Amino acid sequence: MELFAWDERYHTGELIVDREHRGLFALINRVAELDAAQAGDAALRAVLDELVQYAQTHFRHEEVLMRDVGCDPRFIEAHETVRREFARQVERMLPQNGASTDAEHLLRFLASWLAFHILGIDQSMARQIREIRTGGAAATAYERERLKQADPATTSLLAAMQNLYGMVAERNLALQDFNTKLEAQVALRTRELEAAKQQLESDIKRRQLAEQALVARNQQLEGLNARLAEMGTQLVQAEKLAGLGQFAAGVAHEINNPVSFVIANLGAVAEYLDKLQQALGEWERHSAARPPWIEDCYRKLDIEHIRQDAQPLVRESRHGLERVKDIVQELREFSQVDCAQEWAWSDLNHRLDAALSYFSHAMGKIETVKALSDLPMVHCQPAQIGQVLQSLLGNALEAMPSGGVLRLRSGVDGQQVWLDISDSGVGIAPDILPSIFDPFFTTKPVGAGNGMGLALAYGIVKAHQGRIEVSSVVGQGTCMRVYLPISGALPRPV
């Protein structure tokens, strides 16, 4: 359905004028179709601009026609005034600065204005042109039309229509101005919100980074605290070992000689007892019967019991003294951990295999799993390191009396090599774990160990500027890891 339909009321009789009027009608209807189809502002504005330009061209064609015919200049001037006012009002109603197009109201204004213009001033122009062409005077034709327009009803209607168009234009301009300001405020607020959003995101990101840095710092502090605690434990252990080393040296020196004397004397006593036993035996074989007083003396002194018990007592005493001598020897070795001994470049994997072969007779139901990496040669005291590995392997095997899995691993960590000896045994209770390297500390039954093995191993590793780390879970097993500095690796021998 057309918004602006042509009928005979709009016919002026001037060919060019009527053709251009039809063109204006077509453009108005085209804008209406685009608006109904919800076309974009760009498409609507293009057709509106074409419509306004076409109307201005049409008005100029009418003014050229009036001048060619010779219409009264007053009428031509009035037509030019109307054309300029139309242009001013349309310009004010068209959206500015990218504002959206209110096509419906603009179309109603254009259709109403053009209908009023065609039925009014253009029909008046057509009548004046016809009168002039039939020989009438231009001034007479103009005055006749002016008198028609002087009719009070017509004048009031024309004035009301012009005022209405002016008010519509002013209202539309005010609305556009309000929309422009509103859109500017919305754009400003949007920018402010976007800036606030970006600031908030930046603040959140900075806070997250700060929290991450704080977490990292806390983790670093926890690591430092753990390291400090470990160093404190090592320092306490070192102080214990240093004090014990001095004590061990003195004890070994003071005990060794008397123990040696007692062991030697017990050997002589055993020999003497043996000779006495032989002498008594010979005497008894060559005597037909012992005198009564001899029998009485045998009973009172319990000679038979002494003959049976003397040698076993001497053997037990010698065995106990041998244990004392072994402890003294371990104390001597413990006190000499830091003493100068032979240093050499050694392959710790080979040392571990050699220590393991020492226990080949005790492997029983033990499954051995190896994961040994290629290691650089390590500058160390090979015999002492072998002693450390034997001690750790011995403890691991004793933790699995009914069988289990022994895992041996090795690797490189920076300027250090490490060896792992893990068992699947009974594990170590957390409350005694800090004490396992203390001298004379043992959980073995009385007589089964003297508690010096791990203390000696700890001292040897510390003398090599290394460390031993322990992790254990009761019922699952224990892992001992030995770290030793490479101290300048040499190429592996081929």
pLDDT (tens digit per residue) in 48-85: 788 888 888 888 998 898 899 999 999 889 888 888 88
Report pLDDT for 372: 92
The size of the chain, in residues, is: 494
Q: CA dist 10 to 64, 110, 124, 409, Å?
A: 20, 15, 12, 108
488 pLDDT more than 60 = no
Coil, helix or strand at residue 346: strand
The pLDDT, as a whole number, for residue 118 is 85
Q: Which of 10-14, 112-116, 233-237 has the lowest mean pLDDT?
A: 233-237
Percent of the chain with pLDDT over 90: 17
Measure the CA–CA gap between 456 and 337, rounded to whole angstroms.
8
Q: CA 237, CA 399: separation in Å to the nearest integer?
A: 24
Q: What is the pLDDT of residue 420?
A: 94
End-to-end CA, the chain: 103
The pLDDT score that the predictor gives to residue 67 is: 92
Average pLDDT of the segment spanning 78-107: 71
Report pLDDT for 451: 66
Of the candidate ranges 57-66, 100-109, 348-357, 484-493, the one whose mean pLDDT is the lowest? 484-493
Report the pLDDT averaged over residues 121-144.
90
CB 379 within 8 A of CB 488: yes
Q: How far apart are CA 415 and CA 263, in angstroms?
A: 49
The highest-confidence range among 33-37, 159-163, 319-323, 378-382, by mean pLDDT, is 378-382
pLDDT band, very low/low/confident/very high, at 406 (cuts 50, 70, 90):
very high
Name 334's bridge partners: none
- Residue 484 pLDDT > 50: yes
Q: Is 326 a residue whose pLDDT tops 80? A: no
Contact 331, 248 (CB under 8 A): yes
**Which has the minimum average pLDDT: 31-35, 169-173, 196-200, 291-295?**
169-173
Helix (H, G, I), strand (E, B) or coil at 75: helix
Residue type, 129: I
pLDDT confidence of residue 154: 46
| Rounded-to-integer distance, Cα 336 and Cα 332, Å | 6
Residue 96 has pLDDT above 60, yes or no: no
| pLDDT, position 409 | 96
Which residue type does 31 have? Answer: V
Is the pLDDT at 492 greater than 50, yes or no? no
How much is the mean pLDDT over the chain?
79
pLDDT of 486 above 90: no
pLDDT in tens, 251-261: 655 676 677 76
Instruction: Check if the beta carbon of residue 266 is closer than 8 Å to that of residue 318.
Output: yes
Token reading at 357? 């072969």
**Cβ atoms 87, 141 nearer than 8 A:** no
Looking at residues 32-51, what average pLDDT do you find?
79
At 491 the pLDDT is: 42
How far apart are the C-alpha atoms of 41 and 20, rounded to whole Å? 26
pLDDT category at 377 given cuts 50, 70, 90 is very high
Task: Identify the burial level of 118 via C-beta atoms within 10 angstroms of its C-beta, where 0-12 means exposed, 13-18 middle and 19 or more buried.
Answer: buried
The angle at the Cα of 25, spanning 29 to 156, to the nearest 5 degrees, equals 115
**Summary count for the chain: helices (H), strands (E):** 12, 7
